[in-house]
Amino acid sequence: MLNSLSGRFLILTVIFVMLAEVLIFVPSIARFREDFLRDRLERAQIASLALLADDMLTSELEAELLENAEVFNVVLRRDEMRQLVLSSPIPHPIELTVDLRDPGAFELIRDAMRRLGKPQPEVIRVIGAPVRDAGLLIEVAMDSAPLRAAMIDYGVRILALSAVISIFTAVLLFVAVRLLLVVPIKGVVGSMQRYASAPEDARRIIKPTASVRELREAEEALNQLQTELTQALKQKERLAQLGGAVAKVSHDLRNILTSAQLFTDRIESSEDPLVRRMAPKLVNSIRRAVSLCESTLAFGKAEEPAPTLTLFQLIDIVSDVLDSERLADGSDDISFAEDIPSMMTVRADPEQLFRVVSNLVRNARQAIVNSGQPGEINVSAHEDEDAWWIEIADTGPGLPPKAREYLFTPFQGGARKGGSGLGLAIAAELVRGHGGTLELKKTDETGTVFAICLPKGDGAV
């Protein structure tokens, strides 16, 4: 109970209400003391008027009047004359004088607190103005014990009433807090627990229903989070299923390509010049396809295999890529150009670098074909002291906004309709495996330029 939000709110409410009542109690007890003393002055004035009306009152009746007024003596000042009207023996000397003719608030509070804190009885003189202007001044001497007892009794009743009010208020606030906060919060927690048990079930996503603005904002934020998480889980499941299917297809395709690779040995022995010229490219293509299938199977288990770094001439890789794309294009609308130093040697995995350049050139070719306009693709390279730089530039229409936003995200960064977006994601991962970077340098209506940076040292660029 005490550890709950509503329980702590109940205790705090009681404490705060009691503090407020204490702040009210101090001026209240001061006002009560003032009213008590003024009442004694009025009683003494009435008793003195009875004596003034009949000078022949007996001493017994005079003592009775003083007892009813609860004072020891009464002094009236009328017509600038001070007159002792009623008197009786005073048990102690007068120790304090209280003037009620024009008291200040601070003075009343101070004297009231002082009286409560002083339990010893004493005789006090009280001075005030008579009611209905029946003289200039009235003065009485009285015992302080009845005053302090009355103040204590009044204070106890005030505190008891304050406790009842605070408890009643706290109970009302407790019920209100449970209805307005605790119950909706428990509903949100219950919804989170139900969703956590089956996050892939979209029916368990919370539906904002709270009427309190802050709680509704929390529910809306939770709704958005759960929706995105459910979608991500579904996409992950689809990717897992797709990965399994790709692994199976790659396994069978590898077997088929291995058989095809055996037939290429006979093709190489052909005397036909065209066949002899095309046979090495066919052999290389089949070998790369087999390597790609094996890499796909490895990827299905963990990730892209680490690159096997060797030194080779970049022009050979780029020429193979461009020759393959020229055959795939089969038209004269796209021109392919290369600006690679003939003796430029790079240190990388040749198979993985072929896949990177091939993905980028193929994307550029498909973008130009989809635009319906002729274009040009140029692969250039240069080196400096720290790295080798390869640029693939095209004169296509540029990348659409969605492709730029999810540039290297699988299944989201496709640049053309029907594209999966895997090409750039694979290329970026392969380049990162070399410790390098793949970045988009430019894309607009005049074309797109990608840059590959391969470090010469052991550290990443």
The phi and psi torsions of 304 (rounded to 5 degrees) equal -60, 135
Q: What single-letter amino acid sits at 64? A: E
99-106: average pLDDT: 84
Closest CA to 366 of 294, 299, 429, 420: 420
Answer positive or negative: Cα dihedral of 413, 419, 422, 423.
Answer: negative
DSSP single-letter state for residue 76:
E
> In the prediction, which pLDDT does 290 show?
65
Q: What single-letter amino acid sits at 419? A: G
Confidence class for position 271, pLDDT limits 50, 70, 90? low
310-331: average pLDDT: 87
Distance CA 114, CA 119 (A): 10
Confidence class for position 295, pLDDT limits 50, 70, 90? low
Q: What is the per-residue pLDDT across 377-397, written as a single tens digit (0 to 9) for each?
A: 999 999 999 999 999 999 999
Q: What is the largest CA-CA distance in the chain?
A: 164
Confidence class for position 415, pLDDT limits 50, 70, 90? low
> In the prediction, which pLDDT does 388 show?
95
Q: Which of 9-18, 72-81, 436-445 has the highest mean pLDDT?
A: 436-445
Q: Which residue has the higher pLDDT, 152 or 174?
A: 152
C-alpha distances in Å from residue 213, one per residue of 9, 105, 186, 192, 205: 20, 45, 16, 19, 20
Hey, is 441 helix, strand or coil?
A: strand
CB 33 within 8 A of CB 115: yes
Closest CA to 315 of 287, 343, 357: 343
53-78: average pLDDT: 74
* Element of type H or E holding 96: strand 94-99
Residue boundaries of the structural domains of the chain: 5-171, 199-303, 304-455
Q: What is the per-residue pLDDT across 133-164, written as a single tens digit (0 to 9) for each?
A: 666 788 888 888 888 899 899 888 888 887 78
Is the pLDDT assigned to residue 118 strictly greater than 80?
Answer: yes
Closest CA to 346 of 306, 389, 376, 378: 389
> In the prediction, which pLDDT does 311 show?
94
418-439: average pLDDT: 79
Q: What is the per-residue pLDDT across 41-52, written as a single tens digit (0 to 9) for each?
A: 888 877 777 666
> In the prediction, which pLDDT does 83 show?
72
> In the prediction, which pLDDT does 80 show?
65
DSSP single-letter state for residue 412:
T
Hey, is 387 helix, strand or coil?
A: strand
Q: What is the per-residue pLDDT across 207-245, written as a single tens digit (0 to 9) for each?
A: 888 777 888 888 889 888 888 888 887 777 767 766 666
Superfamily of the domain at 304-455: Histidine kinase-like ATPase, C-terminal domain (3.30.565.10)
How many Cβ atoms are within 10 Å of 427's Cβ, its own excluded?
23
CB 109 within 8 A of CB 20: no
Answer positive or negative: Cα dihedral of 324, 292, 440, 371.
Answer: positive
Closest CA to 461 of 406, 385, 358, 393: 385
Q: State the virtual CA torsion across 351, 437, 321, 358 in degrees, nearest 10.
A: 90
181-207: average pLDDT: 83
Confidence class for position 314, pLDDT limits 50, 70, 90? very high
C-alpha distances in Å from residue 404, one per residue of 148, 158, 407, 408, 424: 85, 73, 5, 9, 11
Is the pLDDT assigned to residue 365 strictly greater than 60?
Answer: yes
Residue whose pair of structure tokens reads 């009842």 in the numeric block = 164
- What is the rounded average pLDDT for all residues in the chain? 79
CB 420 within 8 A of CB 401: no
Is the pLDDT assigned to residue 450 strictly greater than 90?
Answer: yes
